[in-house]
Structure 1
Amino acid sequence: MSDGELVTRTLTLASPEETHRLGVRLGGLLEPGDFVGLIGDLGAGKTHLVRGVAEGAHVPRSEVASPTFAIVYPYSGRIPLYHADLYRLTGYDDLYATGFMDLVGGEGAVLVEWLDRVPEAAPTEHLRVTLAHAGGDARSLKAEAFGVRSVALLTAWLP
């Protein structure tokens, strides 16, 4: 497999609880240096997934909050977990000023909501998860892995 190979998985999630459980599974697999970018409209399930990832990474539930106003929120779990929300940013310069880029590829895993707002925030090697409304409580999930480690993460998460 080359570094440029793309691996994709698509599935339908029946409920917010199923989205959360899938997040727990991903959180248990994350390693330092992993980068997961989340894309989706308001209410598509990004936060449900992130709360599950945090639980799977052994972050106390009481610590998990939306970083909309802080931009990046650090969590302490079995590995450091950095949760970023780019919704309010207008571009890369806004993100760069936060010190966010110092976290990428570092000692923890990085979860980014609204990656589509600043796509250049993603390193070459990353997992991109797109969530969309699929009627009622159902959501569609499309996961795309870029790079060797991200492909291994995706195939362990969604075999």
Structure 2
Amino acid sequence: MKRELSALSDAGRLSVVTDASTCAKHLREFPGDAPVLDSAQFLMTHVLPRLAITRKLPVVAVHHNCSAQRLSEQPMTEALARACADKIAVLNSVTCCGYAGDKGLFFPELNAHATRFARSDIPAGCTLGVSTVSTCASGLSEHAGVPFVGLASLLEWASRPIQ
């Protein structure tokens, strides 16, 4: 894996970017010269400074998945959400979405149990949530009462030209 990451990054000249914090955490376990960024790091460092935010949501729910917590990326995720919303609401009741990679696909009761209190963290007027892992977003969309998307989707919406 170290060799493949080095080749992808042109011996560390380019970053390897993944849109899943779980993948970033795993890829960083292979020491080498390839810088690995997850979506929060990449969007905060390379995309947000170049965007013109044209619209904001009143409030966005934020899920800090297990890997993002281990990577200490909560501040970046929250900053990106704040750039696109007047307020953010962190899901304090969901410390793990219960998907455990792909296990929640085969055992949906894991996700249902882990997210059973998520609706109580969604404030009135909140119509969207974000997570840096698509399986977490999928499970939360099903159980939290609002759709969850990735950070890139939120930034894309917030930077669309107003017509």
Give the TM-score category using the shorter length.
0.3 to 0.5
Structure with larger Rg: 2
Larger relative contact order, structure 1 or 2 (CA cutoff 8 Å, min sep 6):
1
Q: Structure 2-normalised TM-score?
A: 0.36
TM-score (norm 1): 0.37
User: Which structure: greater helix fraction?
Assistant: 2
